[in-house]
Amino acid sequence: MSDTAAKPVGFLERTFGLAQHGTNVRTEFVAGATTFLTMAYILFVNPQILGNAGMDKGAVFVATCIASAVSTLVMAFYANYPIALAPGMGLNAFFAFTVVLGYKYSWQQALAAVFCSGAIFLLLSLFRVREYIIDAIPKNLKLAISAGVGLFLAIIALEEAKIVVAHPATLVTLGDLKQWPAALCLLGFVLIAALNYRKVIGGTVIGILVVTIIGIPLGLAQFNGVASMPPSLAPTLFKLDFSRIAEQTFLIVVFSFLLVDVFDNAGTLIGVSHRAGLLDKDGKLPRMRQALLADSFAAMFGSLIGTSTTTSYIESAAGVAAGGRTGMTAMFVALFFILALFFSPLAGMVPAYATAAALLYVACVMTQGLADMAWDDLTEYAPAVVTAVTMPLTYSIATGIGLGFITYVLAKVIAGKFTEAKPAVVILALIFAAKFAITG
């Protein structure tokens, strides 16, 4: 009996090094549950967003669960970090609203672009080019890209809930706040923000479910049960279409997916690892290569089964705060995502205004980067502001990134500070300038 009980403990110890990291199975389980509850909103939000691209919501729900579970298991066992992965917020909006609805790609073609971006990320990680790219991009533009994605999510959320509507004279204006979807979205947003401020575990999910339940008697949501067998994955499985791979816009789309994923991944890895005390004495991340390969695998695998870019989640910091220190935390997160497969009716009943409340909250979190920008150099912060502002106003993350690079290089050249614009930035600016000149 004792020998049998010792075997799994020995395996876990050898695999994750629990004693070495000063943790145990119970602590890692609590940390995994904490991380899952903090990021579980993606199960409701991702099918809603990708549904706008014409994808089957049930299949997207299953793809979200499987992509998150498998990718997180790779991070757990290959990189041994307490970091969970799931389809990235902002990247899913770019997929649906810019690539599919804006560039008129089919969602199958958009999945092909996601796969290519993951493959390039994999090569960059293998040949250690990623560090050069991250170092070459000015810090202000990195922060502006993150903030701009947040603002992009915000306008999508406000539009989904009809809080902001179209206007022929001013482009946009205030919607009718007396309508239930608008009012419940605002209620959900305030509830989510307040619960997260009070550090309530799963506050975002609680907010989504509360306003969803309120909408049932109002006819805005329909209760179809809580659990069932998972929907079919067939509508999205292996549906990639590479027919537009030779087009210039395909290159821009792939680059935009790649750029946002690289910066998002770098920020998450360093931020969560620093919080967990996993950085070495030089401030570097051990097993960085394994973590990057896990992330690039995630993007490729997710596209194959039918979801937008899967990436590391900053919400993993919640599990680290609860004591998670090893890949076992991620392993438990993956198991929760597998269990979530059987709760598709719950995800299916969540209306657009409820997920919009979560989107608006995520938008607020992402725009915090604006506070960290260097505001003492006009040639630095002006292009950054252009980057952040044009993403929501043009309804395109790619356009915001492109205009940011172009204005950055031009500002440096005209101001006589050309040496501050690194070659990689100049090349990217020229690529985007060519794109705007040819396709607008």
111 backbone dihedrals φ, ψ, rounded to 5°: -65, -35
Number of domains forming the structure of the chain: 1
Can you give the pLDDT at residue 6? 46
Residue 422: strand, helix, or coil: coil
In a domain? residue 3: no
Q: Are 196 and 215 in contact (CB under 8 A)?
A: no
Q: How far, in Å, CA of 118 to CA of 296, rounded?
A: 5
In a domain? residue 153: yes
In a domain? residue 9: no
Average pLDDT, the chain: 89
Can you give the pLDDT at residue 3? 47
Can you give the pLDDT at residue 283? 62
- N-terminal to C-terminal alpha carbon distance within the chain: 71
Q: How far, in Å, CA of 325 to CA of 165, rounded?
A: 46
Q: Are 255 and 85 in contact (CB under 8 A)?
A: no
Q: How far, in Å, CA of 427 to CA of 249, rounded?
A: 16
Q: How far, in Å, CA of 429 to CA of 440, rounded?
A: 15
- pLDDT beneath 50, residues of the chain: 1-7
In a domain? residue 221: yes
- Domain residue limits at 118: 15-439
> For 298-353, what is each residue's pLDDT tens digit?
999 999 999 999 999 988 888 888 889 999 999 999 999 999 999 999 888 999 99
In a domain? residue 6: no
The neighbour count for residue 368, using CB atoms within 10 Å, is: 12
What's 232's DSSP letter? P
Can you give the pLDDT at residue 9? 57
Sequence-distant (6+) residues with CB within 8 A of 338 are 65, 69
Tell me the two tokens of residue 80.
């041994």
In a domain? residue 1: no
> Helix, strand, coil: what percent of the chain each, to 5?
70, 5, 30
Name the pairing type of β-strands 164-167 and 85-87. unpaired
Determine which helix (DSSP H) or strand (DSSP E) holds 164, and give its type and residue range: strand 164-167
> For 106-157, what is each residue's pLDDT tens digit?
999 999 999 999 999 999 888 877 667 767 788 888 888 888 888 988 999 9
Tell me the two tokens of residue 284.
């570097």
Show the beta-strand stretches assigned E in 191-282: none
- Provide DSSP, 41-101: THHHHHHHHHHTTT--HHHHHHHHHHHHHHHHHHIIIII--S--EEEPTTHHHIIIIIIIT
Roughly what angle, to the nearest 10 degrees, separates helices 327-340 and 25-39? 50
In a domain? residue 10: no
Can you give the pLDDT at residue 2? 45
Determine which helix (DSSP H) or strand (DSSP E) holds 257, and give its type and residue range: helix 248-276
